[in-house]
């Protein structure tokens, strides 16, 4: 008999999480201001060793807000990985900036830092670093290149809660860092996001922009057009409670990955993101697999066969440099970024929810082996 369906992701909400949210409700703090918001922001700033934290509605807003807050001009170039989520590109296009895509490293799946310097021009205004699937970008090498050219780094740490690089928290690098607390992220508030920075002027600007740009002292007079990107106190309360378990959560993700690796390491036909790189241990936001280019079976077929065994999966990101929307903004994409394209066509991830039992992990690993063997 088949076990019941195992979704690729599902949140783990504890009794303490519930208690905290209930507390916020019974205290009457339900809006986007108040003690729960302050607590959540302060806790994130403390964990990530940052001076300022600005909570927002989601991780996409966090990126939009940072881009809006930095005084970029149309035509300015932003260097970013192709292999990432659309959220990294959307505000770049809306503001009339020029995306300059970097291919991925075939081993880590992160942006290939070695390729960055050649892409820097006199119009480059920022480099967006995105830690992919829980493994860190080489921030040492990237910071050196950026520093040499005086270009700020924006760090998207949405997939990197609790991850360190050379002993430093991800979320602490560069001019500003962004997080998402979406339902499948390592720390979740259902929907939610955060910007972190040590730059006080930028922090004040973002804080104003995310909350309708009220003028200080004359609330309903506006010198700028802002947004309402506020997160609610209920979400912040959940976040505070989740952050208490951040080390536990990452430890369990690594434990799950360890069980998978026992079964899947060295298996013919697939590559797995490494557990270790110089200076970082994978925090395994997801457990991703890459089918060999020569594979006779497609990702779609593997997904279908796992689905028949009641196992949910998800394909990898479709590379940004191939997104059809680029042409609407006047960009044609003739350049090939082979690694990003391979990841986009041959990658998928399997369930690694915190709520999974070890027996379920074993079942998934064995099912996958069977599917790959019978191709």
Ligand X SMILES: *Cc1c(COP(=O)(O)O)cnc(C)c1O
| Smallest separation (angstroms) from ligand X to the CB of 263 | 26
DSSP 307-332: HHTTB--EEPPPPGGG-THHHHTT--
Residue of closest CB approach to ligand X: 59
| Smallest separation (angstroms) from ligand X to the CB of 62 | 7
| Smallest separation (angstroms) from ligand X to the CB of 217 | 33
How far is residue 50's CA from residue 297's CA, in Å, rounded to a whole number? 46
- Beta strands 98-102; 77-81: pairing state: parallel
| Smallest separation (angstroms) from ligand X to the CB of 214 | 24
* Alpha-carbon Rg for the chain in angstroms: 21
| Smallest separation (angstroms) from ligand X to the CB of 199 | 21
| Smallest separation (angstroms) from ligand X to the CB of 157 | 8
Residue 113 or 264 having the CB closest to ligand X:
113
Residue 87 or 241 having the CB closest to ligand X:
87
For residue 234, which of 13, 7, 59 has the smallest C-alpha distance? 13
Which residues lie near ligand X (CB under 6 A)? 58-60, 84-85, 87-88, 130, 156, 158-159, 180, 182, 193
How far is residue 336's CA from residue 78's CA, in Å, rounded to a whole number? 18
Residue 56 or 100 having the CB closest to ligand X:
56
Residue 317 or 363 having the CB closest to ligand X:
317
Residue 64 or 341 having the CB closest to ligand X:
64
Q: Which residues pair with 164 in a beta bridge?
A: 169
| Smallest separation (angstroms) from ligand X to the CB of 58 | 3
Residue 88 or 372 having the CB closest to ligand X:
88
Count of CB atoms situated within 10 Å of the CB of 23: 14
Q: Which two tokens stand for residue 371?
A: 């599917």
Q: Which residues pair with 81 in a beta bridge?
A: 102
| Smallest separation (angstroms) from ligand X to the CB of 237 | 18
CB burial readout 64-94, b (16+ within 10 A) else e: bbbbbbbebeeebbbbbbbbbbebbbebbbe
Under 8 Å between Cβ of 113 and 141? yes
Residue 178 or 233 having the CB closest to ligand X:
178
| Smallest separation (angstroms) from ligand X to the CB of 345 | 19
Which runs of consecutive H residues, i.e. helices, occur in 28-86?
A: 35-47, 59-69
Residue 103 or 156 having the CB closest to ligand X:
156
Give the list of residues 6+ apart from residue 370 with CB closer than 8 angstroms, or none: none
Residue 136 or 158 having the CB closest to ligand X:
158
How far is residue 180's CA from residue 230's CA, in Å, rounded to a whole number? 13
Widest CA span in the chain = 70
Q: What are phi and psi of 55, to 5 degrees?
A: -80, 145
Q: Which two tokens stand for residue 215?
A: 């003028």
């Amino acid at each position: 008999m088949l076990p019941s369906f195992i979704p690729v992701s599902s949140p783990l909400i504890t009794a303490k999480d519930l208690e905290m949210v209930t507390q916020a409700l019974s205290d009457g703090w339900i809006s986007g201001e108040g003690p729960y918001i302050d607590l959540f922001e302060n806790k994130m700033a403390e964990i990530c060793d940052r001076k300022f934290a600005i909570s927002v509605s989601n991780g996409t807003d966090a990126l939009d807000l940072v881009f809006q807050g930095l005084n970029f001009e149309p035509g300015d170039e932003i260097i970013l990985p192709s292999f990432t989520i659309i959220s990294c590109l959307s505000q770049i296009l809306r503001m009339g900036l020029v995306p300059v895509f970097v291919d991925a490293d075939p081993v880590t799946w992160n942006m290939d830092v070695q390729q960055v310097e050649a892409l820097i021009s006199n119009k480059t205004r920022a480099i967006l670093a995105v830690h992919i699937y829980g493994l860190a970008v080489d921030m040492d090498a990237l910071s050196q290149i950026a520093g040499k050219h005086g270009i700020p780094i924006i760090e998207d740490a949405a997939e990197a809660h609790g991850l360190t690089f050379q002993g430093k928290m991800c979320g602490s690098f560069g001019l500003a860092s962004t997080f998402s607390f979406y339902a499948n992220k390592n720390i979740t508030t259902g929907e939610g996001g955060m910007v972190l920075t040590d730059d006080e002027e930028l922090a004040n600007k973002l804080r104003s922009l995310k909350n309708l740009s009220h003028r200080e002292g004359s609330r309903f007079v506006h010198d700028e057009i802002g947004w309402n990107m506020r997160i609610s106190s209920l979400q912040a309360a959940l976040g505070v409670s989740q952050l208490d378990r951040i080390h536990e959560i990452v430890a369990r993700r690594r434990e799950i990955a360890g069980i998978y690796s026992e079964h899947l390491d060295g298996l013919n036909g697939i590559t797995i993101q490494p557990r270790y790189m110089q200076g970082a241990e994978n925090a395994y936001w997801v457990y991703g697999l890459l089918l060999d280019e020569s594979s006779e079976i497609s990702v779609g077929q593997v997904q279908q066969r796992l689905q028949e065994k009641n196992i949910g999966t998800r394909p990898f990101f479709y590379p940004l440099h191939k997104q059809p929307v680029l042409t609407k903004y006047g960009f044609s994409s003739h350049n090939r970024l082979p690694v990003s394209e391979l990841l986009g066509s041959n990658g998928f991830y399997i369930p690694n929810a915190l709520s999974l039992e070890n027996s379920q992990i074993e079942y998934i690993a064995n099912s996958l082996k069977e599917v790959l063997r019978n191709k």
